[in-house]
Amino acid sequence: MDLSDFEADNSVSCRLSSSTPDVCKTEDCCLGIDEAGRGPVLGPMVYGICFCPVSRKEDLKNLKVADSKTLTEAERENLFLKIDEAKDFVGWALQILSPNTISTSMLQRAKYNLNALSHDAAIGLVQYALDCGVQLKEVFVDTVGPAEKYQEKLSQRFPGVEVTVRPKADSLFPIVSAASICAKVARDHAVKSWKFAEDLGEVDRDYGSGYPNDPKTKSWLLKFLEPVFGYPQFVRFSWSTAQTLMDSKAVAVHWDDDEEDGEKTAARQNNTSMLSYFSRSKPSELAHTRDTHRFFTERKLQSINTL
């Protein structure tokens, strides 16, 4: 699987897709939706769709697709190749949600939780299939949140399409199994070949499964926690696991806000207020010159005294 478009800038999300089979533009089609990497603290979450004509469901089933979680990595790779080679009647598309996108979305002022992010990714992929000319009749989805509400939401968004939302849909419907395989293969490739934008030196890639309860993952998180700037963009810093480690191991930062005067709070905590960096006369402890951290030089940021 070629992820070069995503690897060119893995700080943002990316959509990848196969070509759309001509038969999918003329015959009624079914489409399955599933994701990979919802729970891990490391790496992207990938949403996948797979679609084929309703009349070719048995042909898809004959590819021996199954829930990706029940397959070995080698089996998933082999099945993805079969799906991709069946391009005369099968199409697929992926939305790769970068860890940075996930974290910044969840921590923005107007809360945008993982369920909403997942729903929007799924809706975007269905709309993409329609925009490509796929003649959709049936959509099968592995549920995120309450199945009935999610099904109602999708049915209202896509009138005229028969929507079925079920728990464990990847083990019930072959078209969802195929989507699951595409998503899982893409995530595996993205994690294995992750290009770190940060200068971390020799990176230990033995980070386990990426799930918060994995000892290898916990060890990796401890090893690559930068005390001032936190984690590389490979880490979903909105996850409680990462936040807990930053709270206990990283340098404490006070952010001036409206709840308490920033200058008074900083003085009480024996810290320097963020506002002091923008004052006309800097406090004595900031007066001496020192080398600027690479975070600022790389972004061509400079201190200013007036606005």
Under a CB-based contact definition with an 8 Å cutoff, are residues 43 and 217 in contact? no
State how beta strands 29-36 and 14-17 pair: unpaired
Locate all alpha helices (DSSP H) within 167-224, ordered by sequence. 169-172, 174-192, 215-223
Please tell me what DSSP assigns to residue 21: P
**Is 142 one of the annotated binding-site residues?**
yes
By DSSP bridging, strand 136-142 and strand 162-166 are: parallel
Burial of residue 21 (CB within 10 Å: 0-12, 13-18, 19+) is buried
**Cα distance between residue 113 and residue 131, in whole Å:** 27
CB hemisphere CA count around 257 (13 angstroms): 4
The C-alpha atoms of residue 120 and residue 130 are separated, in whole angstroms, by: 15
Task: Please state, in angstroms and rounded to a whole number, the distance separating the CA atoms of residues 81 and 181.
Answer: 10
DSSP string, 102-152: HHHHHHSSS---HHHHHHHHHHHHHHHHHHTT--EEEEEEE-SS-HHHHHH
Contact 93, 131 (CB under 8 A): no
Q: Is 35 annotated among the ligand-binding residues?
A: yes
Using DSSP bridges, classify how beta strands 45-53 and 91-97 pair: parallel, antiparallel or unpaired.
antiparallel
Binding residues, as ranges, are: 34-35, 142
- What residues form the annotated binding site for a divalent metal cation? 34-35, 142
